[in-house]
Structure 1
Amino acid sequence: KVRAAADHVLCIFPFEPAIYEAEGIAATYVGHPLADVIPMAPDRAAARARLAPLGIELAEGQPLVAVLPGSVASEVGHNGPGVLGRRRRAGAPAWAGCLAVRRADAAGAAPGAGAAG
């Protein structure tokens, strides 16, 4: 589909041109201004510190499961109740009903639902 839609692809990551060229599609790495700003490896301690004021307290190495029913307020309003309410057990965190978490140490968070542990 890409070959039919474009004569040449401008890539934002340095590994992308080789992928396109292997399929016979001309490609050039041009970069992206944010690609150099966002670190490849996240600062996990800083992320935990930013989550703490939101009521999400994570121990080092503790996984976090986030249920994100949409990116726009209308999507969250439309999808959220169904996603967060699906198969919810009494007393279980809001996010627990929509996926099976196989780690007892996982914490959870969902928009409008606050944190759950």
Structure 2
Amino acid sequence: MTEAESGRRIAVLGEMLELGDEAVEAHREVGRMAAENGVDLVVAVGGHLAKQLALAAGAAGVPDVALVADNATAAAYVDSVLAPGDVVLVKASRGGMLWQVAQALTGKPVTGL
């Protein structure tokens, strides 16, 4: 087993802001999909929609779930729990600016403040 295969799967997931009436159910579906795909930790970033994602992920079997309000908190939290071999996916709509989390975790200057 390689180092990457021995680590956890971490998904930092922000709100999808363009979904209209389907937004709540779509966020719940993303949470369920995280469980189906073997994600070990979901970090949901945002408000009400992120909470729906986090609740669905936990109910579907994701072992660890965190709900944070903003990108800086998400980056600090993930950095504090990150271990060698862990793989991190960062995804949200463009409006969520989750690239800031990826920049922070890779030591690059955070843009778009």
TM-score (normalizing by structure 2): 0.24
Greater share of helix: 2
User: Higher RCO, 1 or 2 (CA under 8 Å, sep at least 6)?
Assistant: 2
